[in-house]
């Protein structure tokens, strides 16, 4: 048995590898720039500076954004090995588009270099201008900003007509400062020409694999580096919006989610096993038929519909205001000297509606299974023997039949638990329970993906654990089952 | 493939089972509503006689029409159609489109409350019977009935297309895993080499070259995204298949007798296990938040994540079927594996798979409704049932925003569950 559990635990590794890979892909391809979110106008305590550019470089190093993505990359032969160093997504897009046009990375590099050189020469000239004619300089603020914008735009466009247009605006605006454009912008036009004359387009269709080794973002993210401990030791990085470690944020959220899911499963079993037994005893009676139909309909009800209906009926001042509409504890918080039981008692009215929401859908499932499995047992000989022995109906069913029909009920546990974890996203956001689900929704809306990944990884670990527990319980319930 | 067999099985089932028959009838009603949605709820009249010209605005794709005498009629005038002094005007049963904004009845008018309309001469009167908002209005003044009618399209379309993708993947993988198991598929060394190179090359030529274009397509969505992705996958599989065939040919010529077992079953079972251990709804939410929200993206995501149940069932059925007499007979007369799998086993298995596919459709509808309920991963301003419910949860006094769309979602899922349940009893 122990061997089996260890083997199963070892199988967690590939699954977790895939899950983390998926999470990492989410992190990389998520919209929005994490640097923009991390930069704050105030002096940040982490980077110790209030200059946005300095903060950006700090965070880029901290998050390892200047490293290659993965151990290797599959790309075209035209791509240079150090393409990952371009961080700006728009610039990278332009680079790739230009590369597709020419297939020669040197000419594309030349293009970007030419733009940088022009910018520098232009700035030098402008400084001279500033000292010579300060008044004229001050009068042409608009032209100045247009020129800066044109330089930026040139770095972000691969379209020839657009390039021409930006060069033209540069020319017209620079003429306000008595500068002769051609000798300043000459390198750019030359490099654009070179893109087409020195093209090696065939390189775009040759595959290439680049090996980066372990100094990459994924490796650092998974196994940790000097800054973080890595996902494998439970460090999911820093939340973009809150600038705190994700682990600390998740820690007190997971308790509520686990609390509700475990409690609701226990409740579901407590309620539905008696229902199932009653259904099995008198399967043809009208009451059990009505119960069956009602349960089947409940099973088809979406949880968010039930949740909103419950809120509408029971925490609406117009109809019935029995339960509080949101939250999990009084707004003022618990009393300081309250013990766990008192806290629970205080939170009870807040928990009623969410618990109904969590529980109702598994009711039909579990009671149906109880019914069928007990009905399978009833005609068997050992039940007849027990009855002949003089045991009451109750004893026969609860002590003998139920024990033997436990197996399918345990399987349900591994089917119900994952759906409850996934469903918590919706129920928690309806009732504003401060759990993992609500945190995920908030994080996705704020594009704070480290939290999302932490939640996904943790939920899949919980799910796998629930499968394992179900399997172990299986062996406990039926000694005939032996795992090798 | 003999679909005839599946069809006849289902037909017999329908004749036998009254519950199933009733459920399928109601389901067809839903499909008819979905298909005819623009004719059932539209702010353009179906038939209209204006200045001695007969017009059919609801059927027209044009934006404007020239009536002569310098009068140009704009077809997209929205609510103004109702004020047009026409001789004959025949509206659909619900005289509003989902995006028509009725500002007069704007902040959430109840179906039983007072609804008004102002005519061109400035007189405000109670709304006439034919223009009534039967199920009330939303915060902005959209008609709830119209949104529900058009939402049927989204709900049924998502279920149908995502399950199409899921069953394509699930049946293929499950059939291979069940039929070949771990020792059925032998592969030569050169074939293996060709397989690995094939996977690498197709990955490169299909997804790396112009990967930015694909990313762009993902952001734009639309039916082309689905077609493009399916086409790319088809090309990739065909290329890999071709290369493997060439590898097998070389193996034959070189007379290499050493062959490896290709463990299809282990690979597929592991993939199913891994995918099952990630909570699907969480993953769908996270994935759909990456690109710009669109329904085609949602279909692809749901389709690619929900094939596991179908694959598991297919695997089990193929495992059972491969030892049956008719399969052995097929093998004995020298039929190829693929032909046995597709033309002989699949028609026998399909009615059983149908159960799982129908349940999957229900799951897809639920996933879409949940997503639009929390407002992540679905287009803004789309007429979806979940979106209406989402609006209703902020305004408890407007019960019609909660009850009607909720009942619709409930009914559709109940239908899918009933059909699936009854189909599964037939075995």
Neighbouring residues of B8: CB distance < 8 A, sequence distance ≥ 6: none
Write out residues 318-337 of A within 8 Å (CB-CB) of B. Answer: 318
Q: With 60 as the cut, is the pLDDT of residue A379 above it?
A: yes
CA angle B107, B113, B114 (to 5 degrees): 85
Structure tokens given for B406: 């909720």
Q: Measured between alpha carbons, how far is residue A356 from residues A163, A324, A329, B61, B248 in Å?
A: 62, 14, 17, 49, 60
Q: With 80 as the cut, is the pLDDT of residue A466 above it?
A: yes
Inspect the interface and report whether the beta carbons of A441 and B212 lie closer than 8 Å: no
Q: With 60 as the cut, is the pLDDT of residue A390 above it?
A: yes
Do residues B114 and B74 make contact, with C-beta atoms less than 8 angstroms apart?
Answer: no
B131-140 core/surface letters (b: 16 or more CB in 10 A; e: else)? bbbebbbbee
How many Å from the N-terminal Cα to the C-terminal Cα in chain B? Answer: 21
Strand partners, B50: B53
Mean pLDDT computed over B8-22: 82
Do residues A81 and A211 make contact, with C-beta atoms less than 8 angstroms apart?
Answer: no
Query: What whole-number distance in Å separates Cα of residue A255 and Cα of residue A252?
Result: 6
> Tokens 């771990």 label which residue?
B182
Q: With 80 as the cut, is the pLDDT of residue A335 above it?
A: no
> Model confidence over B112-151: pLDDT tens digits?
877 777 777 777 777 777 778 888 888 888 888 999 999 9
Provide the number of CB pairs (under 8 Å) joining chain A to chain B: 141
Mean pLDDT computed over B225-238: 88
ipTM: 0.87
> Model confidence over B339-364: pLDDT tens digits?
999 989 998 888 889 999 999 999 99
Confidence of residue B3 (pLDDT cuts 50, 70, 90): low
Count helices and strands (H / E) in chain B.
16, 9
Do residues A167 and A185 make contact, with C-beta atoms less than 8 angstroms apart?
Answer: yes
Of A19, A96, A453, the CB nearest to B212: A96
Q: A151 or A181: which carries more pLDDT confidence?
A: A151
Do residues A20 and A223 make contact, with C-beta atoms less than 8 angstroms apart?
Answer: no
- On whether any CB of chain A is under 8 Å from the CB of B221, the answer is no
> Model confidence over A410-430: pLDDT tens digits?
877 777 777 777 778 888 888
Q: With 70 as the cut, is the pLDDT of residue A351 above it?
A: yes
- For residue B5, the number of C-alpha atoms closer than 13 Å in the C-beta half-sphere is 13
Structure tokens given for A106: 């040197």
pTM, to two decimals: 0.87
Of A441, A447, A463, the CB nearest to B279: A463
Mean pLDDT computed over A28-53: 69
Q: With 60 as the cut, is the pLDDT of residue B74 above it?
A: yes
Inspect the interface and report whether the beta carbons of A302 and B201 lie closer than 8 Å: no
Do residues A461 and A467 make contact, with C-beta atoms less than 8 angstroms apart?
Answer: no
pLDDT of A423 reads: 76
Query: What whole-number distance in Å separates Cα of residue B290 and Cα of residue B305?
Result: 16
Of A305, A440, A467, the CB nearest to B409: A305
Query: What whole-number distance in Å separates Cα of residue B342 and Cα of residue B336?
Result: 10
pLDDT of A29 reads: 80
> Model confidence over B358-402: pLDDT tens digits?
999 999 999 999 999 988 888 887 888 999 898 888 888 888 889
Neighbouring residues of B356: CB distance < 8 A, sequence distance ≥ 6: B309, B310, B313, B420
Q: What is the CA radius of gyration of chain B?
A: 27
Query: What whole-number distance in Å separates Cα of residue A218 and Cα of residue A224?
Result: 9
Distance of CA B262 to the CA centre of its chain: 34
> Model confidence over B23-38: pLDDT tens digits?
999 999 999 999 998 8
Of B399, B402, B414, the CB nearest to A297: B414
Please give the helix or strand (H or E) that residue B261 lies within, else none. Answer: strand B259-261
Strand partners, B53: B50
Query: What whole-number distance in Å separates Cα of residue A342 and Cα of residue A348?
Result: 10
> Tokens 């979406």 label which residue?
A302
> Model confidence over B40-68: pLDDT tens digits?
888 888 888 877 778 887 787 777 777 77
Phi-psi region of B180 (alpha: psi -120 to 50; beta: other; left: phi over 0): alpha
Phi-psi region of B122 (alpha: psi -120 to 50; beta: other; left: phi over 0): left
Do residues B87 and B49 make contact, with C-beta atoms less than 8 angstroms apart?
Answer: yes
> Model confidence over A195-226: pLDDT tens digits?
888 888 888 888 888 898 888 888 888 888 87
Structure tokens given for A339: 């013990």
Inspect the interface and report whether the beta carbons of A440 and B282 lie closer than 8 Å: yes
Determine whether B189 is exposed, middle or buried from the number of CB atoms within 10 Å of its CB (0-12, 13-18, 19+).
middle
Q: With 80 as the cut, is the pLDDT of residue A484 above it?
A: no
A348-358 core/surface letters (b: 16 or more CB in 10 A; e: else)? eebbebbbbbb
pLDDT of B164 reads: 93
Confidence of residue B153 (pLDDT cuts 50, 70, 90): very high
Q: With 70 as the cut, is the pLDDT of residue A355 above it?
A: yes
Query: What whole-number distance in Å separates Cα of residue A211 and Cα of residue A71?
Result: 6
pLDDT of B340 reads: 92
Average pLDDT, whole number, for chain B? 86
């Amino acid at each position: 048995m122990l061997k089996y559990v260890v083997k199963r635990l070892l199988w967690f590794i590939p699954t977790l590898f895939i899950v983390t890979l998926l999470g990492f892909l989410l992190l990389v391809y998520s919209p929005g720039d994490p640097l923009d979110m991390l930069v704050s106008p105030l002096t940040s305590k982490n980077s110790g500076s209030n200059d946005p550019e300095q903060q950006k470089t700090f965070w880029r190093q901290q998050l390892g954004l200047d490293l290659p993505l993965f151990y290797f990359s599959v790309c075209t032969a035209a791509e240079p090995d150090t393409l990952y160093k371009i961080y700006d997504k728009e610039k990278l897009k332009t680079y790739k588009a230009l590369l597709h046009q020419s297939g020669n990375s040197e000419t594309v590099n030349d293009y970007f270099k030419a733009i940088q050189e022009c910018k520098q020469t232009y700035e030098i000239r402008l400084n001279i201008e500033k000292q010579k004619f300060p008044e004229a300089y001050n009068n042409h603020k608009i032209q100045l900003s247009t020129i800066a914008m044109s330089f930026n735009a040139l770095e972000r466009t691969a379209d020839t007509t657009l390039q021409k247009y930006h060069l033209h605006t540069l020319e017209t605006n620079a003429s306000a400062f008595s500068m002769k454009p051609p000798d300043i912008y000459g390198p750019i036009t030359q490099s654009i020409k070179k893109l087409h004359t020195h093209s090696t387009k065939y390189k775009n269709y040759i595959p290439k694999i680049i090996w980066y080794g372990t100094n990459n973002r994924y490796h650092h993210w998974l196994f940790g580096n000097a800054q973080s401990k890595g996902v494998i030791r439970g460090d999911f990085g820093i939340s973009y919006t809150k600038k705190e470690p994700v682990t600390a944020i998740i820690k007190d959220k997971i308790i509520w989610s686990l609390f509700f899911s475990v409690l609701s499963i226990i409740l579901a079993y407590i309620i539905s096993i008696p229902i199932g037994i009653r259904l099995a005893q008198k399967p043809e009676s009208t009451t059990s038929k009505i119960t069956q139909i009602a349960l089947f309909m409940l099973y088809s009800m979406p949880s968010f519909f039930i949740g909103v209906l419950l809120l509408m009926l029971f925490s609406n001042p117009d109809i019935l205001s029995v339960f509080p509409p949101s939250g999990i504890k009084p707004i003022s918080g618990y009393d300081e000297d309250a013990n766990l039981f008192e806290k629970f008692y205080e939170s009870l009215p807040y928990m009623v509606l969410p618990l109904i929401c969590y529980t109702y859908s598994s009711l039909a499932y579990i009671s149906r299974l109880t019914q069928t499995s007990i009905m399978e047992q009833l005609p068997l000989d050992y039940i007849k023997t027990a009855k002949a022995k003089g045991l009451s109906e109750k004893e026969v069913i609860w002590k003998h039949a139920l024990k033997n029909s436990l197996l399918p009920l345990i399987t349900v546990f591994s089917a119900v638990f994952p759906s409850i974890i996934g469903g918590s996203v919706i129920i928690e956001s309806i009732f504003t329970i401060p759990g993992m689900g609500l945190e995920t929704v908030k994080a996705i809306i704020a594009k704070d993906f480290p939290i999302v990944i932490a939640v996904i990884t943790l939920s899949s670990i919980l799910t796998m654990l629930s499968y394992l527990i179900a399997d172990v319980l299986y062996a406990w319930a039926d000694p005939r089952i032996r795992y090798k | 493939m003999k679909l005839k067999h599946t069809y006849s099985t289902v037909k017999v089932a329908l004749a036998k089972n009254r519950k199933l028959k009733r459920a399928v009838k109601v389901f067809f009603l839903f499909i008819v509503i979905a298909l005819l949605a623009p004719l059932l709820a539209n702010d353009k009249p179906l038939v209209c006689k204006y200045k001695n010209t007969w017009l059919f605005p609801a059927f027209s794709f044009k934006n404007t029409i020239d009536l002569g005498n310098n009068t140009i009629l704009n077809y997209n005038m929205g609510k103004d159609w109702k004020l047009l002094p026409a001789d004959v005007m025949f509206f659909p049963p619900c005289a509003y489109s989902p995006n028509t904004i009725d500002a007069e009845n704007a902040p959430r008018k109840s179906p039983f409350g007072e609804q008004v309309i102002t005519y061109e001469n400035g007189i405000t009167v109670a709304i006439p019977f034919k223009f009534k908002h039967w199920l009330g209005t939303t915060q902005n003044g959209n008609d709830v009935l119209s949104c529900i009618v058009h939402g049927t399209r989204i709900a049924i379309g998502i279920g149908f297309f995502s399950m199409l993708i899921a069953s394509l993947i699930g049946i293929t993988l499950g059939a291979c895993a069940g039929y070949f198991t771990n020792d059925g598929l032998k592969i030569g060394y050169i074939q293996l080499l060709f397989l690995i190179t094939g996977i690498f090359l197709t990955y490169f030529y299909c997804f790396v070259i112009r990967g930015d274009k694909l990313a762009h397509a993902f952001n734009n969505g639309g039916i082309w995204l689905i077609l493009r992705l399916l086409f790319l996958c088809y090309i990739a599989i065909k290329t890999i298949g071709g290369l493997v065939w060439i590898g097998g040919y070389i193996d034959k010529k070189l007379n290499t007798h050493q062959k490896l077992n290709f463990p299809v079953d282990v690979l597929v079972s592991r993939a199913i296990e891994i995918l099952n251990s990630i909570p699907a709804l969480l993953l769908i939410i996270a994935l759909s938040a990456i690109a710009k929200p669109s329904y085609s993206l949602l279909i692809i995501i749901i389709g690619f994540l929900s094939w596991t149940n179908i694959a598991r069932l297919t695997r089990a059925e193929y495992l059972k079927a491969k030892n049956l007499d008719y399969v052995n007979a097929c093998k004995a007369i020298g039929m190829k594996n693929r032909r046995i799998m597709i033309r002989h086993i699949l028609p026998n298995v399909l009615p059983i798979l149908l159960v799982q596919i129908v349940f999957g459709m229900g799951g897809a509808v639920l996933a879409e409704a949940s997503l639009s309920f929390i407002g992540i991963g679905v287009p803004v301003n789309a007429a979806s049932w979940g979106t209406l419910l989402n609006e209703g949860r902020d305004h408890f006094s407007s019960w019609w925003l909660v009850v009607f769309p909720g009942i619709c979602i409930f009914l559709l899922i109940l239908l899918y569950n009933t059909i699936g349940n009854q189909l599964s009893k037939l075995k």
